[in-house]
Amino acid sequence: MDPISRPEKICDYNCVYCQLGAREPVPVERAVYVRPDALGSELEALKAPADYITFSGRGEPTLAANLSRLLIECRKHRPEKTAIITNASLMCSEKVREELSAFDFVIAKLDAPNAELLNEINRPAPGVCFDEIIKGLILFSKGRRNRLAIQTMLIGRNKAYALEFAALYVKTLPDEVQLNTPLRPCPEKPLSRNEMALACLITDAELKRLGKGGIKLINVYGETAPEVSPVSARETLRRRGKT
């Protein structure tokens, strides 16, 4: 489910690997993009069951100022658990953390182990601060009762920072870490299976050394992808581009 639902990408990041292409990041300002009643009618029309109703799409879902209202509307019409994929840029906000805590599953992006790489890889809008992102993730994790995953996209620029990433995973304490590399067409070359295996091996060893071996580690190459059927092939193509 796309709480932004605009033809153009609405995101406060301009990631180098984004399959939607390069676009100047929008300012970190929340706005209403989708009316709850419009969402409700679409959910009523959806007959197929799902494991999760996932909030994502062409941009950053937490930029939707009525995110909580949309979630309430979703639960009025659908019995499934809810998930949200976020770049974590607004998790420094107590209000946003409170809204995210209402989802059953939060998948938060963390592609950089420091401010320099955040600016190089994610190319955020002015005002997005690495230290505030980490602080927000830590605060969210401390009080949460839902499931949390950290999603890290590994490319040539950040593949050598497995130890630094592991230290951040220990601070933010997710239930799982999803180590990905861009497999959809984009300007960045994906890491090979061997490179990803090495990154996973180092990360796993460091997590165990730091006493957090219980954090589940998922390698994009090592997991068997579930069978997925899009509700709308046209909408999936619009959001993700060609695959």
Domain ranges of the chain: 82-231
Q: Which residue has the higher pLDDT, 42 or 183?
A: 183
Of 3-12, 108-117, 161-170, the poorest mean pLDDT is in: 3-12
* Residue that wins the pLDDT comparison between 172 and 20: 172
pLDDT higher than 60, residue 227:
no
> What is the arithmetic mean of pLDDT over 206-214?
97
SS3 state at 146: coil
Separation of alpha carbons 50 and 192, rounded Å: 32
Across 214-226, average pLDDT: 81
pLDDT of residue 230: 52
Q: What is the pLDDT of residue 138?
A: 98
Tell me which H or E stretch contains 83.
strand 81-86
What is the predicted pLDDT for the residue at 25? 85
Q: Out of 13-27, 137-151, 177-191, which region has the weakest mean confidence (pLDDT)?
A: 13-27
Average pLDDT over residues 104-109: 98
Angle at CA 213, nearest 5°, toward 177 and 172? Answer: 50
Mean pLDDT taken over the chain: 90
Q: Tell me what pLDDT residue 241 has.
A: 46
Instruction: Tell me the C-alpha distance between 182 and 159, whole Å.
Output: 13
Place of tokens 């658990």: 81
In CATH, what is the architecture of 82-231?
Alpha-Beta Barrel (3.20)
* Structural contact between residues 56 and 108, judged by C-beta atoms closer than 8 angstroms: no
**174/133 Cα distance (integer angstroms):** 14
The amino acid sitting at 158 is N
What percent of the chain shows pLDDT beyond 70?
Answer: 91
Tell me: pLDDT of 242 over 90.
no
Average pLDDT over residues 34-49: 82
Cα–Cα dist 95/83, whole Å: 18
Q: Would you state the pLDDT for residue 231?
A: 54
Asked if pLDDT for residue 175 goes beyond 80, the answer is yes
